[in-house]
């Protein structure tokens, strides 16, 4: 009588029977790993820009303040992007014929604004206000990382819900002096309990409500 199945078929069937109950857990675990991975969050990814702007050069070497380009960061939800006029404040005098700056000169001549690609992007259902975080002493580098070292801007943090909640649940250790908010090279260790309480009181941060759904989802 001919054998229909190979000797290993019985082992394979047994393995499948064991794997079936575990499949939902494996699937859920795989989804969680994917959701937290840089492939999904965009962490570490750089975006192609119309001009290869270097924060390493402008911020790290030339010490240009963040607010020179991101002018509305203290007053608006959005930090703002530099206009062509802002770029030409310097580049009408220096590097006037640089090939890499041709799009800037063309924008100046035609009036067509440069279309910068956002590097740090939150979902549309997330409400985030830059001005509030700056007013409460949250340093730019808390989310944007050491931009003074970035030849090309990249997303430094995962910007996931967990990332935001970790700070909202315990903001005190992460707060600092408002005068140092825009210093991306500052190495600031987490505040101790006394300093954390002092900043929470000074900036009137009520942490018991920071995890309410309506804070970020409006």
**Alpha-carbon distance values, 198 to 177, 179, 191, 203 (Å):** 11, 16, 10, 9
C-beta of residue 167 within 8 angstroms of C-beta of residue 142: yes
**pTM metric for this prediction:** 0.83
Res 8: pLDDT: 67
C-beta of residue 214 within 8 angstroms of C-beta of residue 175: no
Res 63: pLDDT: 95
pLDDT in tens, the chain (218 residues): 555 666 667 778 777 877 788 778 778 877 777 777 888 888 998 989 999 999 999 999 999 999 999 999 999 999 999 999 999 999 999 999 999 999 999 999 999 999 999 999 899 999 999 999 999 999 999 999 999 999 999 999 999 999 999 999 999 999 999 999 999 998 888 999 999 999 999 999 998 899 999 999 98
C-beta of residue 155 within 8 angstroms of C-beta of residue 44: yes
Res 17: pLDDT: 79
């Amino acid at each position: 009588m001919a054998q229909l199945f190979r000797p290993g078929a019985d082992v394979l069937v047994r393995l499948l029977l064991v794997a079936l109950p575990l499949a939902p857990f494996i699937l859920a675990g795989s989804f969680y790993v994917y959701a937290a991975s840089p492939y999904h969050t965009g962490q570490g990814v750089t975006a192609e820009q119309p001009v290869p702007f270097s924060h390493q050069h402008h911020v790290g070497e030339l010490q240009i303040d963040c607010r020179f380009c991101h002018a509305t960061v203290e007053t608006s939800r959005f930090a703002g992007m530099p206009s062509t006029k802002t770029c030409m404040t310097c580049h009408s005098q220096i590097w006037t014929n640089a090939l890499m700056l041709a799009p800037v000169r063309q924008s100046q001549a035609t009036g067509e604004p440069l279309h910068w690609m956002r590097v740090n992007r939150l979902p549309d259902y997330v409400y985030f206000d830059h001005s509030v975080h700056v007013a409460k002493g949250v340093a730019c580098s808390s989310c944007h990382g050491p931009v003074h070292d970035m030849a090309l801007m990249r997303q430094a943090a995962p910007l996931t819900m967990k990332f935001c909640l970790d700070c909202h649940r315990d903001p005190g250790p992460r707060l600092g002096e408002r005068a140092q908010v825009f210093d991306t090279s500052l190495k600031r260790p987490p505040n101790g309990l006394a300093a954390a309480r002092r900043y929470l009181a000074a900036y009137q941060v009520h942490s018991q409500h920071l995890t309410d759904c309506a804070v970020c989802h409006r």
